[in-house]
Amino acid sequence: AQTVTQSQPEMSVQEAETVTLSCTYDTSESDYYLFWYKQPPSRQMILVIRQEAYKQQNATENRFSVNFQKAAKSFSLKISDSQLGDAAMYFCAYLTGNQFYFGTGTSLTVIP
Amino acid sequence: NAGVMQNPRHLVRRRGQEARLRCSPVKGHSHVYWYRQLPEEGLKFMVYLQKENIIDESGMPKERFSAEFPKEGPSILRIQQVVRGDSAAYFCASSPLSQGISYNEQFFGPGTRLTVL
């Protein structure tokens, strides 16, 4: 069974600092995709970054980057130069076939 | 370009009533997915539909829940005889092509928050 675990229910970071959100997953598949979604209070699901499992190079999108460790089944998100607008729930997700599997989320607070 | 639209955004029902949630996918997308988010949890897959076909309903409760995606019009998630435990946010996503190993991004709608009194 595929599972996604986010062990940090809440995190906080000072504005302009860097924070890392953890995610581990369990799968027997060899081809899959990993994602980080942001859910602000509006509840809209916003794609932050995605990673193809067959790619060794870590994905980056501006201030957002991932540390993908396939053997360890780990997929952490690093947010650099944190901004107030980054405050939200962050969900790690795994996609195989037609189904997404989401973690339980990490609530990120950005302290001015 | 309009994204995925869901309505209503908020829906209040009393126990035993029916809830109908509508999802209009991105124009040109023929694949729709429904997810449910219970309080303090991540989204959980319910059902995957193509036009006039249910492809995968493995995440759908066996009773009271049904979904359709007709040839014309929006996809509908229908919950009959709602109970308090059905209170959740229901998200719809659409994609242009079937997702096997080749990735096609799912675009999420804003969700419908269902409250059962």
What is the helix, strand, coil percentage profile of chain A, to 5? 5, 55, 45
Percent of chain A whose pLDDT exceeds 90: 72
Is the pLDDT assigned to residue B102 strictly greater than 80? no
pLDDT digits (tens, 9 = 90+) for B36-83: 999 888 899 999 999 999 999 999 998 999 999 999 999 999 999 999
Going by C-alpha positions, the residue among B106, B50, B70 that lies closest to residue A95 is: B106
Which residue of B108, B112, B113, B114 to mutate against A (max A Cβ within 10 Å)?
Answer: B108
Pick the more confident residue, A44 or A1.
Answer: A44
> CB distance from A31 to chain B under 8 Å?
yes
Write the residue in A44, A100, A103 that is nearest to B45 by C-beta. A100
- Using the beta-carbon criterion (under 8 Å), do A44 and B42 form an inter-chain contact? no
**pLDDT score of B98:** 58
Computed from CA positions of residues A28, A93, A3, B38, in that sequence, does the dihedral angle turn out positive or negative? negative
CA A87, CA B17: separation in Å to the nearest integer? 37
**pLDDT score of A27:** 87
Distance from CA of B102 to the nearest CA of A (A): 9
Going by C-alpha positions, the residue among B112, B88, B93, B85 that lies closest to residue B30 is: B93
Pick the more confident residue, A79 or B99.
Answer: A79
pLDDT classification of B7: cutoffs 50, 70, 90: very high
Mean pLDDT of B75-96: 95
Locate the chain B residue with the closest alpha carbon to A107.
B40
Write the residue in A50, A95, A104 that is nearest to B41 by C-beta. A104
Q: Which residues of B touch A52 (CB under 8 A)?
A: 103
Q: How many helices (H) and strands (E) does chain A have?
A: 0, 12
Computed from CA positions of residues A25, A29, A34, A40, in that sequence, does the dihedral angle turn out positive or negative? negative
Mean pLDDT of A77-97: 94
pLDDT classification of A82: cutoffs 50, 70, 90: very high
**pLDDT score of B101:** 44
Do B82 and B17 form a contact (C-beta atoms < 8 A)? yes
Mean pLDDT of A48-56: 90
Mean pLDDT of B109-115: 95
